[in-house]
Structure 1
Amino acid sequence: MELTLAAAFTSSALLLSNFASIALASSQLKRRRVIPPPSGNQPPVSIVVPSRGVEPFTKETLQRAFSLDWPRYELIFCVAHAEDPVVKLINAAIAGHPDVPARLLIGNDRISANPKLNNCVKGWQAARHNWVILADSNVLMPKDYVQHLMAAWRPETGLVCSTPIGSRPDGFWAEVECAFLNTLQARWQYAGEALGLGFAQGKSMLWNKPMLDANGGIEALSAEIAEDAAATKLVNGLGLYVNLVASPFEQPLGQRRLDEIWSRQARWARLRRVTFPLFFAPEILTGVMMPLLLALVAAASAGVSLPTTVLCVLVIAYLPECLLARSKGWYLSPRSVTAMIVRDAMLPAIWIRGWLGGAVEWRGNAMTIRTKEMTELEEVA
């Protein structure tokens, strides 16, 4: 009897926390809306875009970057190697939009083990304006991209970010990627912001350049293996907050494979594990697997129908998640619930992988992710 009650109570508590996170995220998020071009004098903005390789939507994301409504902005594209095939596309886009100030910088400044951060250094140093956006090359910028970032800046803000919202999935595994990005990771990130625990996301980061330069510059983001983790700790250390845009920006996915999803999620899990271990540890309790297992234990002990128990748990877990996606205009299809189930089935293995050492892959780069303390010990030895 005690086992039955304990399992039922814990399962219910986990399902309730799942619902609470959705409610908190929903309170922070707004359905996509267009912010009109600003009137009056607005500060000029530098947009630094680290690029590597050609992806299915590269031409479209480049076109979007040159079509923003902000009155004064410059684009600084950063590529590590001159032979990268994306160089031709960037040069063609620059030539096709002579009205937008844009440059391509090539080279690699090795200030860290993070290849993206190394690629950004030259762009940060070349930026002419006091407001700088570090934007991943696969972000699909809307015309009001800068407006949304600026609108989230408040007097106590140290950094404004946007999570990626997966869109245009081509195939089932891309829908699983949407399930990871949207109603799991974005949801928990916005729930964290609602609780005053905002943390950075490297996809789109709006910085006040004088503020960061006064606190170590872009090199300060090498304090952690992940630049967004270093950014979060730096901003919080200054007594400031990381804020998120009300309507996060799209990342078109196209096709995805299971091994790509596993590699990416394993890398992110390992990064979270070494940078924020206390927050990573309870991640095993997210998703449906733990409350479902406990509910089945309670049902078996109490003689309740197991199929009915499974159905009830799945409805309680996934109906609010689907309603969140629908209310915010995120991708949702008849296969979305199946994709969410597959995602949650992967979560325990991803969590375990996060605790293990060894190399992970980032765009062809083998990275051994370890804590700063481990790296310092190895250097001393």
Structure 2
Amino acid sequence: MEVDLRFVLASIGLLWYAGLWAVGLLGCFAARKRYRLRPRSPLATAPAASVPGVSILRPLKGLDTNLYENLESTFVQEYPNYEILLSVADESDQALPVAQELISKYPDVNCRIIIGEETVGANPKVNNLVRSYREAANDILWVIDSNVTVHPGTLARSVDALVGPPSPTVPRKYIALVHHVPFAVVTEDRIGSRIEEAFLNTNHAKMYIAINTVAVDSCVMGKSNLYRRSDLERVNGSLRPIKSTDSAAAQSSPCGLPAFGRFLAEDNMIASSLWHELGARHDLSCDVARNVVGNMTLSDYVHRRARWIRVRKHMVLGATLIEPFTESVVLSIICASSLKYLLGCPLWVSICVHLVLWVYVDLDVYASLAGHPLPASIRWQFGAAWLARELLALPIYLFAIFGSEVTWRGRAYKVLRNGEVLRAEKSRSWFQRIRQPKNYDPIGTEI
């Protein structure tokens, strides 16, 4: 019996399409359930001695957009037992006066500024954080980027998710990390900023929440993460399970935050290490990390997306290779082609119906995270940015997948296997790249 190859491909295409819709709807419904009701934690009003202490670590570098309000959001947390450590690599950094002003404004908050970095690898964020990491008074650490602002109840609800109430009937999986889905807030009306907003608040959030709901593997973006230093001191980024049954067993090579200085995406590697090396799990709290997006041009957006595609390519190659087939435009073509062959449905009808339904689900996710529907004042801008994001997804992917050099905060890096990086000389022109070999200088890893 002769097999009709086109029939087989069309059937596979529809199955793939249905599977991606199932993932998208899972993310949409999970967002509704998790984020549309954010109850106040009982820890917010508990005595200080009865709750776990938390050290909030915030690395600072220059004047990020909305920096004062971002930092202030950690000074007003409704939690009775925490300290704040603000890390500044250079005493001439422009963020330092902002930090000092907030300390003067909130004298009752236990806050210190740690000046001076320690080079443990190529990652400048880790180098900036190492001293604060070592000087933190508490085991629970909340590492939060300087361009993020959070609700006053975030810390209490996050500690709830990390520690959790004991249950005599239902055994609870050990939670090693609590993270928050990023939610973009645009303060400057630039095209790159609007596209970033449309991406983070719809498709990215939908897939991020769905993957973490299924929880088959680690999937963490490190804008705002809570974990225990005692857990981090047992792992080193090897992703090899610790074989010992001792609950305090650690990897043989140096562990802790300095061990992750060799990775560009240290947040993702820390999460993966806690998952694979300790066999622990992660959890999302019902709060978002409000990522304040400043003056982002279209070029900034393209290179930002390309940078993380190149990093992911060296960390999760299989998932990165199938990524184009999960995007809306490619999916619509797969669906339309399959339906045209199987049912004779016109291509334009299938594509239009797909896009209308897809954007409806995305806007529902936006409403869940924001706590309100998309404001009418930005409806057309957001819609145009959403469409631009969908149309740009494949070209950006094709641009990114064939390279391994990235630029982050003005520095050039060569991405290696498993997401490790080396500092690189920044390329000056395509002609010089042809004539002169790149010179990659390994950074010392004093751990």
Same fold (TM over 0.5): yes
Aligned partner letter, 1:76: L
Distance 1:110 1:49 in 2: 17
The residue aligned with 2:185 is: 167
The residue aligned with 2:261 is: 222
1:22, 1:324 within 8 Å by CA — same for their partners in 2? no
Structure 1's 222 and 162: CA in aligned 2 closer, same or farther, altered over 3 A? same
State how 1:184-223 maps to structure 2 within 5 Å: 184-196=203-215, 197-215=217-235, 216-222=255-261
Equivalent in 59, 62, 67 of residue 68 of structure 2: 59
CA drift at 1:199: 2.1
Structure 1's 32 and 91: CA in aligned 2 closer, same or farther, altered over 3 A? farther
* Range moving further from structure 2, 70-79 or 248-257: 248-257
2:312 pairs with 1:272: yes
1:4, 1:297 within 8 Å by CA — same for their partners in 2? no
SS in 2 for 1:43: coil
Distance 2:323 2:385 in 1: 19
1:10, 1:294 within 8 Å by CA — same for their partners in 2? no
Q: How far does the alpha carbon of each residue in 1:181-217 deviate from its partner, in whole angstroms, 9 at most, with x for none?
A: 1222222222111222242221111111222224412
2:356 pairs with 1:315: yes
Equivalent in 347, 357, 361 of residue 393 of structure 2: 347
Aligned partner letter, 1:351: Y
1:4, 1:299 within 8 Å by CA — same for their partners in 2? no
CA drift at 1:8: 4.8
Runs (4 or more) in structure 1 with deviation over 6 Å come to 373-379
The residue aligned with 2:252 is: none
CA drift at 1:254: 4.2
1:183, 1:324 within 8 Å by CA — same for their partners in 2? yes
The residue aligned with 1:249 is: 289
Distance 1:112 1:23 in 2: 40
2:376 pairs with 1:334: no
Aligned partner letter, 2:283: N
Structure 1's 306 and 233: CA in aligned 2 closer, same or farther, altered over 3 A? closer
Q: How far does the alpha carbon of each residue in 1:54-92 deviate from its partner, in whole angstroms, 9 at most, with x for none?
A: 122111112212111111211111111222211111111
Structure 1's 359 and 83: CA in aligned 2 closer, same or farther, altered over 3 A? farther
Based on CA coordinates, which of the two structures has the bigger radius of gyration? 2
Distance 2:176 2:271 in 1: 9
SS in 2 for 1:49: strand
CA drift at 1:146: 0.7
Structure 1's 152 and 279: CA in aligned 2 closer, same or farther, altered over 3 A? farther
CA drift at 1:173: 3.3
SS in 1 for 2:363: helix
The residue aligned with 1:113 is: 122
The residue aligned with 2:36 is: 31
Equivalent in 16, 21, 28 of residue 23 of structure 2: 21
Q: How far does the alpha carbon of each residue in 1:16-50 deviate from its partner, in whole angstroms, 9 at most, with x for none?
A: 23322233223263225252524241111100000
Could you tell me the percent identity over the aligned residues? 24
SS in 1 for 2:146: coil
Equivalent in 196, 213, 232 of residue 177 of structure 1: 196
Distance 2:222 2:257 in 1: 13
CA drift at 1:137: 0.7
Structure 1's 373 and 273: CA in aligned 2 closer, same or farther, altered over 3 A? closer
Structure 1's 12 and 342: CA in aligned 2 closer, same or farther, altered over 3 A? farther
SS in 1 for 2:283: strand
Equivalent in 380, 393, 409 of residue 363 of structure 1: 409
State how 1:40-189 maps to structure 2 within 5 Å: 40=47, 41-153=50-162, 154=164, 155-168=173-186, 170-171=188-189, 172-189=191-208
SS in 1 for 2:291: strand
Distance 2:106 2:326 in 1: 46
1:3, 1:298 within 8 Å by CA — same for their partners in 2? no
- Counting matched residue pairs gives 379
CA drift at 1:358: 4.2
Distance 1:165 1:374 in 2: 27
CA drift at 1:253: 2.2
CA drift at 1:169: 5.2
2:336, 2:346 within 8 Å by CA — same for their partners in 1? no
Structure 1's 268 and 106: CA in aligned 2 closer, same or farther, altered over 3 A? same
Distance 1:150 1:320 in 2: 31
Aligned partner letter, 2:46: S
Q: How far does the alpha carbon of each residue in 1:235-290 deviate from its partner, in whole angstroms, 9 at most, with x for none?
A: 12211012222232212224431111112111111121111222222111122121
Which consecutive unaligned segments of at least 5 residues does structure 2 have?
165-172, 236-254, 423-439, 443-447
SS in 2 for 1:245: strand
TM-score (norm 2): 0.77
Distance 2:71 2:133 in 1: 19
CA drift at 1:7: 6.0
2:413, 2:421 within 8 Å by CA — same for their partners in 1? no
Distance 1:31 1:162 in 2: 15
TM-score (norm 1): 0.89
Distance 2:328 2:8 in 1: 17
* Range moving further from structure 2, 218-227 or 205-214: 218-227
Q: How far does the alpha carbon of each residue in 1:287-337 deviate from its partner, in whole angstroms, 9 at most, with x for none?
A: 212122234545666764443233112123222222222234367352334
Q: RMSD across aligned C-alpha pairs, in angstroms?
A: 2.7
